[in-house]
Amino acid sequence: MANKVVILGSLNVDTILRIKRVPQPGETLQMNDRSSAAGGKGANQAVAAARAGAETSFIGQVGNDDAGKFMIESLKDDQVDTSGINVDSGSGTGSAYIFLDENGQNSILVYGGANQKVTATEVHNGAEQIKHADFVVTQFETPQLAAIEAFKLAKEAGAMTILNPAPASEMLPELLELSDIVVPNETESASLTGIEVTDEASMMANAAAFEKMGVKNLIITVGSKGAFYSTEDGRHDFVPAFKVKAIDTTAAGDTFIGALSSQLKTDLSNIKEALTFAQRASSITVQRLGAMPSIPTKAEIEAASK
């Protein structure tokens, strides 16, 4: 049976600016290309989960504008339940500007817009979906107070909670306590613990620091190297990434989270297999241009695994 996944998160229209390199202060450079696509960490994760086979619902907010309509239709195209998305007439739909250089590395500017106005009221619009969820997932592109409300509802329903603390910021301790699994990248992990991620010993030190903060299960993604995991029952290991030539790393982390939530069992008994699946999904995403358009389907992930 497919996992039921609820994502609370951001909805952004991404504008991708292809450039040779990031300009220096005061410098003017020509762009090589410009394009727009559906994005936002929340939306990307929802599409990744849905394409990887999960029954996916979304809780979030857009503005009463063309960009908002575009985002809702984009999620519907991937069979994501959008009934939990509120339309706010007082603010615009979120947007992001992605500077993509010739090496496939990106720098991103984000306008939160309606995403930043998500409250407990909007979360309760998706309470029915949370009630039936296996996993409830959120990030930091919507307010943490809304995330706390969603995770409280998840706990009442017996669902597992996954926190992706991205982009890195100060974290409310209550949110950590309500998180069953925390999935930062190495930079985010270091910013939360003060311990730089350089090797397996430092990853174990990060896990110990998170445990003191009340986190039971930790997954640290380390870009093209792979992912480390540590569980409350004492299991830990490093799952290497698949070696590919990256064209665009946008949405690689979001693909990982969504694909992981689609496969992981709620008792975490298959964590290594689910991480391998998520790594494979991310390796496909980075070989394509754009955020949401680059996210693979389950069939593509399985085909790449053969």
pLDDT band at 248 (very low <50, low <70, confident <90, very high): confident
Tens of pLDDT, residues 223-246: 889 999 999 999 999 999 999 999
Residue 249: band (very low, low, confident or very high) from pLDDT cuts 50, 70, 90: confident
Does position 106 have pLDDT exceeding 90, yes or no? no
**Bridge partner residues of 11 (DSSP):** none
Q: Which of 66, 180, 254, 267 is catalytic?
A: 254
pLDDT band, very low/low/confident/very high, at 59 (cuts 50, 70, 90): very high
254 catalytic residue (yes or no): yes
Res 40 pLDDT > 80: yes
- Say how many domains are in the chain: 1
pLDDT at 53: 98
pLDDT value at 63 more than 90 = yes
Model confidence pLDDT, tens digit, residues 78-95: 999 999 999 999 999 999
Dig out the tokens for 197 from the structure: 């991620």
pLDDT of residue 34: 93
Helix then strand then coil, in percent of the chain rounded to 5, is: 40, 25, 35
CATH number assigned to the domain comprising residue 272: 3.40.1190.20
- Binding-site positions: 12-14, 40-44, 141, 185, 221-226, 248, 250, 253-254, 285, 288, 290, 294
Sign for the CA dihedral angle at 147, 109, 167, 25 comes to negative
d(CA 15, CA 98): 6
Q: Which domain holds residue 192?
A: 4-304
32: pLDDT strictly greater than 90: yes
Backbone CA torsion sign across 23, 32, 223, 193: positive
pLDDT band at 1 (very low <50, low <70, confident <90, very high): confident
Is residue 290 predicted with pLDDT exceeding 80?
Answer: no
Among 63, 111, 116, CA closest to 90: 63
Q: What pTM did the predictor assign?
A: 0.93
Average pLDDT over residues 39-59: 97
pLDDT at 291 (0 to 100): 82
- State the binding site for K(+): 248, 250, 285, 288, 290, 294
Mean of pLDDT values over 201-213: 94
User: Which residues define the annotated binding site for substrate?
Assistant: 12-14, 40-44, 141, 254
Check pLDDT > 90 for residue 98.
no
Supply the pLDDT for residue 212.
92
Average pLDDT, the chain: 94
Binding residues for ATP: 185, 221-226, 253-254
